[in-house]
Amino acid sequence: MAVKDMEIQNLKPPEKPMKLYDGGGLFLCLAPSGLKSWRYEYAFLRRRNILTFGTYPEVSQKEARERLVEAKRLLREGTAPRLRGKAALQLWVAVAFETFGTVALEWFVR
C-alpha cells in the first residue's frame, strides 16, 4: 500500500526506528530524531543491500520513486546501483590524482 504525502508530513517521530513501506522495495525509514530517509532494499548477487535515496522533504516521494525506477533498471542490466556511485567517485579521484601528479612532476623537473 502506497504512502500518501500528507501522511508523511503528519508523522511524529517514533520511539524506535521504523520503516514505512511505499511498495516495490521502497520505504521511508523513520528515526527517533525525526529524520525521514528514503531507502530501497534489493538483492544483488544473492546479497541484501540497502540504497539510500535521500532525506524527506529534500527528496520528495515522487523523486524517490523516480530514483527507484532507475535503480531497478540498473539491476536489470546487471549493475549494482550502490556500486555505480562508488565507481564514479573512484574514477574522479583517479583523474584528479593523475592531474595533481602530472603538475607536481612538471614542477619538480623545473
Per-domain residue ranges of the chain: 5-79, 83-110
Q: What is the Cα Rg of the chain in Å? A: 19
Confidence of residue 7 (pLDDT cuts 50, 70, 90): confident
- Whether the pLDDT of residue 63 is over 90: the answer is yes
Owner of C-alpha cell 523523486: 63
pLDDT 10s digits, 20-51: 998 888 999 999 999 999 999 988 888 888 88
% of residues, the chain, pLDDT over 90: 32
User: Largest alpha-carbon pair distance within the chain?
Assistant: 67
C-alpha cell at 77: 542490466
For the 5-79 domain, the top CATH level (class) is alpha beta
Pick the residue with more confidence: 76 or 87?
76
Provide the 3-class DSSP secondary structure of residue 18. Answer: strand
What does the alpha-carbon distance between residue 56 and residue 29 come to, in Å, rounded to a whole number?
Answer: 10
Nearest to 40 by CA among 65, 18, 57: 65
